Amino acid sequence: MLIQEEIEFLDSYGYLNLGQLLTLEQVTQINNRLAQLLESEGENAGHELAQSKYIRHPKEEGADRLADLVNKGPIFDIFYTHPRVLAGIEAVLGQHYKLSSLNYRAAKPGKGHQKLHVDWKNTVVDGAYQVCNSIWLLDDFTQSNGSTRIVPKTHKLNRLPDQAMADPNAKHPDEIRIIGPAGSVFIFNSHVWHGVPPT
Ligand SMILES: O=C(O)CCC(=O)C(=O)O
């Protein structure tokens, strides 16, 4: 489901653009369901994140969040069953892995800034990666609308942004943005430095 060049790119750079895996009709249906959930969950939206044993996210003023989407409708099944996504995850983690969580995050205009970070508590040695993300673009990600930033190749550095940078909130000279039309999907190794730029 991934060609050799894609596997090699993911290994070298720490991310991979899988292309548009959702039609615009699917994107609209998914966004409609997310809007319903945001409305019905109100102040409680995303509360499961605070309960998770693995990821503890405080409530964020600058971003809308929903969590536990695995249990909130079959429309979300594609996010963790698409064969190209599973092939990307397997390329990073090997054959034995499990789903940790399926969440929604939408930075509000001008907000949602995150310092460069990784989604694991420490560095890993010899490519023994512990976590891998897929990120599904539910609107167009552009250079200027709060798209995710990543610093390619940093998953192999054996240093965390907090250790290596004077200010992990600052722009990194090698950072790139994940950009693409709605419906696009990226895999990124969660040990690659990533975050959301100041806007
Ligand atoms: O929303 C994004 O673009 C990145 C989110 C992220 O890295 C996180 O919540 O750990």
Q: What is the pLDDT along the chain (199 residues), one digit of tens a residue?
A: 899 999 999 999 999 999 999 999 999 999 999 999 999 999 899 988 877 666 556 667 889 999 999 999 999 999 999 999 999 999 999 999 999 999 999 999 888 899 999 999 999 999 999 999 999 999 999 998 889 999 999 999 999 999 999 999 999 999 999 999 999 999 999 999 999 987 6
Name all domains of the chain by residue range, CATH numbers in brackets. 4-195 (2.60.120.620)
Question: Residue 186: beta bridge partners?
Answer: 17, 135
The response to whether residue 103 sits with its C-beta less than 6 Å from ligand 1 reads no
The response to whether residue 65 sits with its C-beta less than 6 Å from ligand 1 reads no
Distance 102 CA to ligand 1 centre (A): 12
Contacts for 110 with CB less than 8 Å, ≥ 6 apart? 199
pTM to 2 decimals? 0.94
Ligand 1 atom having least distance to the Cα of 106: 1
Which residue minimizes the CA distance to atom 10 of ligand 1? 119
